[in-house]
Structure 1
């Protein structure tokens, strides 16, 4: 019996590919279930070089491992993973684990105002 991947998406967090595949948006609790769902839905060849982590409330070791894999993919391509404004709690975790050295933290883009 196979379970539909879309219907098995975790409700407590998500990782979504947006902006025509140019950005990953991490939201809520990034744990092993969220990472597993993401890996089933998005092939590593399609992983972008930018992650928006502004809405992360928790990140497990599985989430940290995914961040390492994302950064390694970029490094192999001669680039660097950019993480958009990780919240203080995530920034502290990344600093404590030394993972802050494997990517570059960048500010969020300024909102576009109508002319």
Structure 2
């Protein structure tokens, strides 16, 4: 029996590649189901160096792990993951876990038009 990927997609959050492919956009609640859906739909070779997290309302350990994987991929390529304006709750979580040292936070104004 095959499962339709779209039919199993969570409706409470998302991680999607922007239309131009230059960044990932995280919105809503980022949990293991959202991360699983992302991993099924976006190949690691397509992971960009910028993540827009302005729309995140909650992030589980699975979401934090995804950020670490994204940062490691960039580091292996000689770059650095840029995280666009983490909301206060996420910024506090990143500071408490020390993950704020794994990537660079950037203002939304640095997003190319």
TM-score normalised to structure 2 length: 0.95
- Per-residue CA deviations over 1:46-95 (Å, capped at 9, x if unaligned) read 00000000010000000000000000000001100000000000000000
Cα drift, residue 19 of structure 1: 3.9
Misfit runs of 4+, over 6 Å: none
**Higher Cα Rg, which structure:** 1
Structure 1 pair 110/47, CA: closer, same or farther in 2 (3 Å)? closer
Structure 1 pair 3/26, CA: closer, same or farther in 2 (3 Å)? same
Structure 1: 5+ residue stretches without partners: none
Q: 1:108 aligned to 2:108?
A: yes
Write the distance in 2 (CA, Å) between the matches of 1:72 and 1:58.
22
Structure 2: 5+ residue stretches without partners: none
3-state SS in 1 of match to 2:70? helix
Write the distance in 2 (CA, Å) between the matches of 1:85 and 1:102.
15
Write the distance in 2 (CA, Å) between the matches of 1:15 and 1:109.
21
Which residue of structure 2 aligns with residue 14 of structure 1?
14
The Cα RMSD (Å) is: 1.5
Write the distance in 2 (CA, Å) between the matches of 1:111 and 1:79.
17
102-111 vs 43-52, which deviates more? 102-111
TM-score normalised to structure 1 length: 0.93
